[in-house]
Amino acid sequence: MANVTLPSVAARPGLGEFVLEKLLSGRGIWPAMPAILVLMVVAIIPFVILLSLGFSDIEVSRGAIVSRTFSLEYLTTALSDRLYWITFQRSLSLALSTTALCFLFGYPVAYLFLVGGRWTKRLILVLTIAPLLTSGIVRTYAWLVILGGRGVVNTTLINIGLIDQPLRIMNTQWAVLIGMVQIHLPVMILPLIAVMSRHDGNLIEVSQNLGASRLGTLRTVILPLSVPGIGTGSALVFTLSYTTFVVPQLLGGGNYLNAATMIYEQVVFSLEWSKGSVTSLILMVTCLVVLVSIALVSNHFTRWTRERDS
Amino acid sequence: MRSFRHTSFTDLLGIGLILAVAVFSLVLLVAPSIIVVIISFDTRAYVSFPPEGFTLRWYAAVFEKRELVEAMWTSLKVGLTVTVLCIVLGVPTALACVRGRFRGTTALSVFVLVPHMVPGIVLGVAVLFAGALVGVSPSIWLQSIAITVFVLAVMVRTVQSRLQRLDPALEEAAANLRATSFQSLRTVTFPLLLPAILAGAIFTFVEGFDNLSVAIFTHSFRDRPLPVELLALVQYTSTPLIAAVSGIQIVLAIAALVAVSMSIGLDTANE
């Protein structure tokens, strides 16, 4: 680049500018250095410490670790504990069904975005982004109001005479599932929309002009092209619903234990930090396994559609 | 060309079904918020539907509840700290990712994403434990820095995608006019990046303000942030007080949405 060698005549830089100039003109890694340092200290090193704590016996006093010794005990007890298996199985099936349902309810919205006019598109964007700007607790609270004993669903059903006694929906796994799906729906829709709006709208027109029905176009053109979006959306929804404790805590009424609520109780209430580390590690590893599977499946189908096209 | 189009009954039925589900989903997205806003004006001291009467007393009650107001201040401080840190750390990182001429620019982009891909709850536990090991106890600062690490990727990605679409000719022109790198950055690149930085700032602020998964493990026990306070309140409050808090949040969300769409447009924000 010529500008580096030319003397600056426009202005004489001060010392601060001189340093900045050196840092920014090098096209090197320097501008990213502060971020790398912070990420190392606040994320990478803590992960390593978490890993090491999962393999040790820790004594905690007043929020500080006073002693620790190497031990495989916590890992082996956790892996042979039935409660762990049940809890993780429940979290996994809850997260997977949430992901599947979010796809079933979210994909049609993305399709409507694709075929809709300008105002439909705007409305969809507003309705999906706005919830993400309010807190998950507030959105979960809405379901307490709707599904509760004196909530919207029960009063309506009683008023039209379908039932005499309020249904017990709250504090069941159904309440948790309904809340999970509604709260994570925007996270599925947004990546789908992003992928769909990137493709040429003419493709759909061409397909239909060639005689394909609208359903046929959806199946053979739109769906294959949106595979990357489905992958991203599923990965995000899965991670969030697998690791949330707000929804199970509030809608499950405390007796619904999932992996995240388990970690919360071990770390914050019973101060069993070794157990907490082990549970966190299992959560992270199982989450990673599912994410990698989603990525592999999504890559497989993306490649498959490309090869078939050529 | 419409004459070629083949419309059968099953086709219409299938598409009709899909569009019906789409409309249902959109209603599902917005209905709970509307119900909560309606509830927040109820005169009765318990939550029930349909509401009776109209009052603003729950909104007044939010601001009279000391814990809530203090929690809001705490979250506001955390949100602002997170935003400032994300701008200071994230914008230069995005520059290095896109403009860098060193090996490993891709590795750098992936590295920044790592903490964002890890479940927030695991990051929170890890930071709490690491802090305990070196004697740093939970505080508003620990919470801010932990959330910063968690959401930094959002800022980097937003600025990065904007940078990649910038016309390089603009900076070359600045260089031809003998501007230093710093001058061209300040007078050409930075103003062009401003909308992306603003959008990133709004999203990182919201995360700093609202984050629970990281905050619940790293917050100071003296200054509880809003989400932690709310989680406790929701479980032990039966009045429409929480509905009023929701109402306030919804108004703020709409304001943020308007700000984003005015700065870069919603379509760009989504990418």
Tokens for B52, please give them: 């009776």
Least confident interval from A140-144, B137-141, B259-263: B259-263
Residue that finishes a domain, picked among A70, A104, A135: A70
How confident is the model over A221-247, as pLDDT tens digits?
A: 888 888 889 999 999 999 999 998 889
Side-chain half-sphere CA neighbours of B147 within 13 A: 34
For residue B126, list chain A residues with Cβ-Cβ distance below 8 A. Answer: 43, 46-47, 49-50, 280
The shortest C-alpha distance from A115 to chain B (Å) reads 10
pLDDT score at A7: 46
At which of A70, A96, A112 does a domain end? Answer: A70
Is the pLDDT confidence value at A43 over 50?
yes
pLDDT of residue B101: 78
Does A179 reside within a domain? yes
How many Cβ atoms from other residues are within 10 Å of residue A261's Cβ?
A: 21
Rounded to whole angstroms, the Cα distance separating A54 from A168 reads 40
Mean pLDDT, residues A201-209 taken together: 75
CA distance A196 to chain B (A): 11
The more confidently predicted of residues A280 and A70 is: A280
From CA A111, how far away is CA A256, in angstroms rounded?
Answer: 35
pLDDT digits (tens, 9 = 90+) for B37-89: 998 998 888 877 778 888 899 999 999 999 999 999 999 999 999 999 999 99
Nearest residue, CB atoms, A127 vs list B26, B126, B245: B26
Share of chain B above pLDDT 70, in %: 94
Most confident of A72-86, A152-166, B79-93: B79-93
Please tell me which residue, A42 or A159, carries the higher pLDDT value: A42
Q: In the prediction, which pLDDT does A89 show? A: 93
A contacts of B103 (beta carbons < 8 Å): none
Distances (CA, A) of A59 to A54, A65, A77, B232, B241: 13, 6, 18, 28, 41
What tokens were used for A276?
């907490």
- The contacts found for A71-76 with CB under 8 angstroms, 24 or more apart, are A71/A274, A74/A274, A74/A275, A74/A277, A74/A278, A75/A278
Assign A223 to helix, strand or coil.
Answer: helix
Angle of CA points B114, B118, B121, to nearest 5° = 145
pLDDT-based confidence at residue B1 (cuts at 50, 70, 90): very low
What average pLDDT does range A175-184 have in this prediction?
94
Q: How far is A3 from chain B (nearest CA, A)?
A: 5
How many angstroms away from the CA of B152 is the closest CA of chain A?
A: 9
Q: How far is CA B60 from CA A43, A84, B40, in A?
A: 41, 45, 11
CATH number assigned to the domain comprising residue A139: 1.10.3720.10
Residue A116 sits in the same domain as residue A141? yes
Q: Which of B101, B263, B24 is nearest to A4 (CA)?
A: B101
User: Which of B90, B101, B234 shows the shortest C-beta gap to A137?
Assistant: B234
Q: What is the pLDDT of residue B186?
A: 78
- Note whether residue A171 is domain-resident: yes
Please check whether residue A96 lies inside any domain of the structure. yes
- Look up tokens 């159904």; give the residue: A174
Domain co-membership, A151 together with A20: no
Same domain, A66 and A86: no
Residue of higher predicted confidence among A58 and A288: A288
Would you state the pLDDT for residue B7? 65
A96 and A212, same structural domain?
yes
Query: pTM higher than 0.80, yes or no?
Result: yes
Overall domain count for chain A: 2
| In a domain? residue A260 | yes
- Determine the pLDDT at residue B178: 80
- Percent above pLDDT 70 for chain A: 85
Residues A291 and A157 in one domain: yes
Q: Do A40 and A186 have their domain in common? A: no
Residues A205 and A234 both lie in one domain: yes
* E strand or H helix that includes residue A66: strand A64-70
pLDDT reading at A3 higher than 70: no
pLDDT average, residue stretch B99-123: 87
Most confident of the ranges A24-33, A210-219, A282-291, B51-60 = A282-291
- Mark yes or no for CB contact A42/B152 under 8 Å: no
* DSSP-derived 3-state class of residue A135: coil
Is residue A170 located within the same domain as residue A297? Answer: yes
Long-range contacts of A264-267 (CB under 8 A, 24+ apart): A264/B121, A264/B216, A267/B125, A267/B128, A267/B217
Of residues B232, B57, B61, B224, the one with CA closest to residue B138? B224
Q: A272-284 burial string, b = 16+ CB within 10 Å, else e?
A: bbbbbbbbbbbbb
A26 and A159 inside one domain: no
d(CA B132, CA A151) in angstroms, rounded, equals 44
Mean pLDDT across B86-96: 92
Q: pLDDT by residue (tens digit) across B223-253?
A: 899 999 999 898 888 788 999 999 998 898 8
Average pLDDT over residues A213-226: 83
Residue A4 is assigned to a structural domain of this protein: no
What pLDDT shows up at residue A18? 67
Residue A291 has pLDDT above 80, yes or no: yes
Question: Do A35 and B18 make contact, defined as CB atoms within 8 angstroms?
Answer: no
User: Which residue has better confidence, B158 or A72?
Assistant: B158
Dihedral angle sign, alpha carbons of residues A35, A36, A38, A43? positive
Q: Is residue A6 part of a domain?
A: no
Binary contact (B33, A283; C-beta < 8 A)? no
Cα dist from A219 to A104, A226, A292, B13, B190, whole Å = 14, 11, 25, 15, 44
- How does residue A9 score in pLDDT terms, banded at 50, 70 and 90? very low
Asked if residue A22 has pLDDT above 80, the reply is no
Helix or strand (DSSP H, E) at A54: none
Check whether residue A40 and residue A95 sit in a common domain: no
- Could you check whether the bond before residue B50 is cis, i.e. omega within 30 degrees of 0? yes
The residue among A105, A122, A133, A281 with the most chain B CBs within 10 A of its CB, best to mutate, is A133
Rounded to a whole number, what is the largest CA-CA distance in chain B? 75
Of B88, B117, B182, the CB nearest to A21: B182
> Nearest 5°: CA angle at A153, between B21 and A258?
80
Tell me how far CA of residue A175 lies from CA of A115, A172, A182, A283, in angstroms: 33, 5, 11, 23
Domain check: are A38 and A120 in the same one?
Answer: no
Check pLDDT > 90 for residue B28: yes
Instruction: Indicate the pLDDT class of residue B152, thresholds 50, 70 and 90.
Output: very high
Q: What is the pLDDT of residue A65?
A: 67
* pLDDT of A5: 45
In a domain, A9, yes or no: no
Higher pLDDT, A28 or A305: A28
Q: Final residue of a domain: which of A27, A50, A70?
A: A70
Q: Are A30 and B96 in contact (CB under 8 A)?
A: yes
User: Considering chain A, what is the average pLDDT of its residues?
Assistant: 83
The range of the structural domain enclosing residue A266 comes to 78-309
Instruction: Report, as an integer, the average pLDDT of B211-221.
Output: 92
If you average pLDDT over residues A45-63, what whole number do you get?
Answer: 80
Residues in A touching B227 (Cβ below 8 Å): 135-137
Q: Which of B152, B126, B134, B154 is nearest to B218 (CA)?
A: B126
Tokens standing for B164? 């990649």
Helix (H, G, I), strand (E, B) or coil at B118: coil
Within a domain: A147: yes
Q: Do A133 and A252 fall within a single domain?
A: yes
The residue that leads in pLDDT, A221 or A285, is A285
Distance CA B100, CA B87 (A): 18
User: How high does pLDDT run on average in chain B?
Assistant: 87
Which of A4, A15, A42, A50 is the best residue to mutate to test the B interface, defined by the most B CB atoms within 10 Å of its own CB?
A42
**Structural tokens at position A204:** 């759909």
Name the pLDDT band for A4 (thresholds 50, 70, 90).
very low
3-state per-residue secondary structure call for A163-185: CCCCCCCCCCHHHHHHHHHHHHH
CB A192 within 8 A of CB A107: yes
Chain A residues in contact with B247 by the CB 8 A cut-off are none
> ipTM above 0.95?
no
**Is residue A144 pLDDT above 70, yes or no?**
yes
Q: Lowest-pLDDT range, A43-52, A85-94, A150-159?
A: A150-159
